[in-house]
Structure 1
Amino acid sequence: MAKATNYDASSIQVLEGVDHVRKRPGMYIGGVSKDGLHHLLWEILDNAVDEVINGHASQIEVKLDKDGKGVSVTDNGRGIPVDLHPTLKVPAIVAVYTKLGAGGKFDGQSYKHSGGLHGVGAAVANALSEQLVAKVWRDGSMWEIEFVRGVPDGKLRKLGNARGSGTAVYLRPDPQIFGKATAFDAVVIRDRLEAKSYLHKGLKIVFVDEAAGKTETFHHAEGVSEYLKKLIEVRAKPAVHPGIFYLDRAEDPKLEVAFAWTEGTDDAMHSFVNGVPTPDGGTHEQGLRAALGKGIRAYMQTHKLEPKGLSIGLEDIREGMVAILSTYVLEPQFQSQTKNRLNNPEVASQVEGAIRPALEQWLHENRSTAEAIVARVIASARARAASRAASQQVSRKGPGGVRLGLPGKLADCSERDAAKCELFIVEGDSAGGSAKMGRNRKTQAILPLRGKVLNTEQASLAKVLENEELGNIVKVLGCGVGKDVNIEQLRYGKVILLMDADSDGHHIATLLLTFFYRHMRELIRSGHVYLAQPPLYRVDIGKETLWAADDAHLQRILADKGRGKPEIQRFKGLGEMMPETLRDTTLDPKKRSLIQVKIRDELQTDQTISSLMGKDAGARYSFIMDRAAEADALDV
């Protein structure tokens, strides 16, 4: 029991500036994970980009140290002011890096458009850094000041004469805040820099990766339209129409937007506000969606292209779309310091008003393109109608209710609380038989599959729903498919893929993951999809029995045990296991090992799935040849 203490005025702590940031870093950078670590760099980078946006800089260099734990950002902008602040009586650069709410972006004069109006970004990056060194050259002189954990280490020093102007900031994240994992990811940095170069025409960004010993320069004169073409190429889903929609608007609301419809079954919208990515969207994306819906429907009504008896939803219009929206807002109101979402209510109508008339004019001027888009939208609506019909075949509300519409080979559980229920999707009837006998009948359901399922990367949603095995999965889960997925109707808290621990099993798991990613992605995003880890080997050494998941695990077990003659049994499949063995190694929550499927980078995931599961065999051939040396033995 905690010792009682007096609660009076002396109990109230006042944490200011650096101390508050270090005490509660999650309030400012979202957490101390890898995302939070990189957010320190983004704050400094965005300040450099703001100089570009407002016409004061044209080049940025980002240099990553050999150990990956230090990074510098240099721009040729105006340079942070170094004269004394009239109120604080310290050099302005010291105020910028130590005072929350100190910045040059509040009055609307020094910066017309800016990625950050909170005035805390530089101070937060400084407070959470073990070391930060800022150099400024302006008015013919170069200045330098160093900070340690947010506190100045000495005074601002004049280093000598210098030509031109600019700012260079070097920082090393503090291991006291982030732990030992303070190394930046060069790939993450590279992708962010490349995106920035597309968003700002004429900007030249140089990335020096000292660990890899290479330097890259990013410069894209065509801007967002060029970026869209790259994204479509990366996703490996070609456009269904010639050309792209592109609008570059200079007057307020200043924005640049490009989009096209592809053969993909999902949509990808990448949005930015004043050069800052907004992965959680916001009012600017609402404006774009409204413009799309009203613009496409207006075209269909004008040319009498609406199919009878078929409802066209906004999700049908957006399916297969790849879009980039970069807008500039005078006083952006972000949801938090991490700037993931824009909240300005007026921006929605402004963006819609700018894009909708331009879209309608583009459709009328490009009739063949417009007809291809409308055909794509109608096909999507028909597939979605089929999807709704399939999901409505399951009429029971919970795992303990009525069983209408459920496949006969499902061995369901009796628990009514979906959060406590688990569905094991099992490879083959024999493995399904062992799993049914070894499971906990109250909370664990078993759905056996027959053979390898359809490769959904190369199939439409209508084709997917015609497939018996995948159709059974949709029925059993009960939450719909495609854009109609409703997590609240999901009948199982965990959806677990249980396949043989061999190459065929891995292939089936990959096919199922492709299906979930392309057609039920919300299940993965919500953390409901898992991979079971059945053993491939049983190892008996004396009286001890051990289980090995794969060949590498087996070798580690044998190396650890050293003495004693092991008896090794390799399972050809799950069907070979006795029910109690499968229960003790794979089904029992207290003993098993599950891998939760997560999406860390949707663009990279899209590219990987398209390469490995798409129509282009050349990508798979390159993948195999690049990794041929890693294959010691093939499981054939």
Structure 2
Amino acid sequence: MSTATKTYSAKDIVALEGLDPVRKRPGMYIGGVGMAGLHHLIWEVVDNSVDEAMNGHATEITVTLHKGGSSVTVSDNGRGIPVDKHPKTKKPALEMVLTVLHAGGKFDGENYKTAGGLHGVGASVVNALSKELTAVVRRDGAQYRMMFERGVAKTGLQKLKGAVRGTGTTITFSPDPTIFPKVDFDSETIRTRLETASFLHRGVKVTYIDEVAGTKVTYLHEQGIVDYLAKVLKDRSARPIHESPFTLRKDDDIRMELTLQWTESTDEHVRSYVNGIPTGNGGTHENGFRSGLNKAVRNYIDTHSLTPRGVKISHEDIREGMVAIVSIFIAEPQFQGQTKDRLNNPEVQPLAEAAIRPALEQWMNNNRSIADSIIARIIAAARARAASRAASDAVSRKGGAKRTMLPGKLSDCLASGKGNSELFIVEGDSAGGSAKQGRDRNNQAILPLRGKVLNTESATLKKIVENKEIQDMVASLGCGIGPNLNLSSLRYQKIILLADADSDGHHITTLLLTFFYRHMPALIADGHLFIAVPPLYRIDIGKETYWANDEEHREQILAEHAKRAKPEITRFKGLGEMMPKVLWETTLNPKTRRLLKVEVDDQLETDRVISDLMGRDASARFRFIMERAEDAEEIDV
């Protein structure tokens, strides 16, 4: 028995009080301290303002990103947080809301019929993780202010001089740099979220002021999610196969708003929300929606005997190409975690299903020409899926774990299938040769690819699985592709994309990322996909050698050693130029290399960017280039 075990006693138990738990374990409350967690602070405050609007107490919400980019103000014209003293604690209610976990006015159901912030921790969590926070409340013709630092009140409740009109709450905060590695907010992320909020809450005026860029935009959508669907279709360059979308607004057993349209795209795209909060991982409301949709379409097909002989229609066929917005409002949502990305209420699923099934079936019967075009599209999807499934199965059979079935150009490692095994997918045979010689044969496998990889964003699944380079990748990984993907059969713990550090290399990496994101997304979600960062420059200064990843890194190194000997700078034309020893030291060696883990912080934004940059519609890429042309200081041609 160790000494530590013998002395373990009550005095070793630490009880965190007040907001200390939030500062000690911020990930439990905001999901992490990366960019997603940083912006979650804004969403918590905005959600409180939205709750006021949802319940008929506010009509305007204004968010301001201040100069410097690390301070935000959220203001609304709601009732204003109460400032009178709480009967038990004798503290102002404003102070309790901002300093006590699980303190709020949304628990008894009397002040808020529906709300997104029901845990009573949102405002206090923001306060705990802010270097500074100032709350200003307008109530009863007066204005009150209270200031905090890192969750601790630095002033009492101050009643400001002069009378004021109206009511509302204004929160200004700056994230704590000792908690967050980066405290600069992304303006486009804020703008997109606020625009979405304006779609989900018809008639609410949402204003975003960006003092960094000197811009101001106001959103007000009277048609709500119908306008939202039109925007999503435009952003995704998805062409509808019928003009009028199906729209449902229901407010009896469940308050639900829904709109959907089938398109020529080959994927299903659903954006769901609960009380205005995006549920990126779905939940019971999405399950009920899909179940009701499938049953309505199947009933229509069966009633009119539209299934061709020999064609088996699956749920995936019914939903292929469908784009939908699902928004529900319920009194007591049960979210999975404080970040609220999945709804768990079991009673919602049957209510959602019962709401959509008869309404959609009636709409299809009343609009036979539209319904028939939808069914024709579903049958075409079923036929295409059957054809591609055979091709996909052929690839899977080639991709078995036996070494005799692996691609001939794969240089496998001795430890494939074990926890520390790595597969480097390398651009070109020349670079592949250097990597094979420089690697650690025990746990590093090398798969060289020849030429540019197929752009899978614009290709059918049949064309994708027939592509030789993709076949080799899938076979090497051994876990299948698309709906047949099984992570338990994955042969490597890390899949590392290794391409040249120039524009061609970046393009190849982007093509590979598009393939993995669209057809093997579980590899990204489970943390298996990485990007290697090889150096672009070698800098010799005296007897010392430095490696620079890009031009900015090169200038930084030169500036740091400006007083030493004259530098000799070599720019690598490609990985194939590197000697195996150099490639090992700079890019392959786990102790000295630099890897970027591929993660998806915002599923919706990632989807839009890939669709814009890699899709069939060239106009989106043209706009992207023209909008950013002035930012290009040096073009690699």
**TM (normalized to structure 2)?**
0.89
Paired letter, 1:312: I
Q: Deviations over 1:214-254 (max 9, x none)?
A: 22111111101111111121122322333222111122300
Paired letter, 2:175: P
**For 1:128-527, what aligned pairs fall within 5 Å after superposition?**
128-152=129-153, 153-157=155-159, 159-176=161-178, 178-179=179-180, 181-385=182-386, 386-387=388-389, 389-391=391-393, 393-395=395-397, 399=401, 401-404=402-405, 406-527=406-527
* Alpha-carbon offset, residue 20 of structure 1: 4.0
Distance 1:187 1:548, change over 3 A: closer
SS of 1:73 mapped into structure 2 = strand
CA distance in 2, matches of 1:226, 1:181: 34
Distance 1:21 1:442, change over 3 A: closer
CA distance in 2, matches of 1:197, 1:559: 48
**For 1:32-181, what aligned pairs fall within 5 Å after superposition?**
32-152=33-153, 153-157=155-159, 159-176=161-178, 178-179=179-180, 181=182
**Structure 1 contact 390–475 (Cα < 8 Å) conserved:** no
Q: Deviations over 1:516-538 (max 9, x none)?
A: 22222222233322333344455
**Structure 2 contact 36–601 (Cα < 8 Å) conserved:** no
Paired letter, 1:161: A
> Any stretches of 5+ residues in structure 2 without a counterpart?
none
Q: Deviations over 1:586-620 (max 9, x none)?
A: 33334433333332333333333333323333333
CA distance in 1, matches of 2:264, 2:615: 12
Distance 1:483 1:266, change over 3 A: farther
CA distance in 1, matches of 2:174, 2:542: 52
CA distance in 1, matches of 2:404, 2:380: 32
**Structure 2 contact 285–343 (Cα < 8 Å) conserved:** yes
Q: Deviations over 1:393-414 (max 9, x none)?
A: 4458975x3533x433333333
User: Aligned pairs, how many?
Assistant: 633
Distance 1:351 1:5, change over 3 A: same
CA distance in 2, matches of 1:128, 1:551: 35
SS of 2:226 mapped into structure 1 = helix
CA distance in 1, matches of 2:175, 2:431: 50
SS of 1:441 mapped into structure 2 = coil
* Alpha-carbon offset, residue 428 of structure 1: 3.1
Paired letter, 1:490: L
* Alpha-carbon offset, residue 255 of structure 1: 0.8
**Structure 1 contact 236–607 (Cα < 8 Å) conserved:** no
SS of 2:172 mapped into structure 1 = strand
Which deviates further from its counterpart, 336-345 or 135-144? Answer: 135-144
Q: Deviations over 1:353-382 (max 9, x none)?
A: 101111222222333433343344344444
Distance 1:553 1:104, change over 3 A: closer
Which deviates further from its counterpart, 475-484 or 224-233? Answer: 475-484
SS of 1:495 mapped into structure 2 = strand
SS of 2:419 mapped into structure 1 = helix
> Any stretches of 5+ residues in structure 1 without a counterpart?
none
Which deviates further from its counterpart, 308-317 or 48-57? Answer: 308-317
Paired letter, 1:281: G
Distance 1:142 1:548, change over 3 A: closer
CA distance in 1, matches of 2:19, 2:587: 49
* Alpha-carbon offset, residue 455 of structure 1: 1.9
Paired letter, 2:520: M
**Structure 1 contact 387–482 (Cα < 8 Å) conserved:** no
Paired letter, 1:114: A
- CA RMSD between the two structures: 3.1
Distance 1:589 1:378, change over 3 A: farther
CA distance in 2, matches of 1:102, 1:628: 50
Paired letter, 1:502: D
Residue 529 of structure 1 corresponds to: 529
% identical equivalent positions: 56
CA distance in 2, matches of 1:147, 1:541: 50
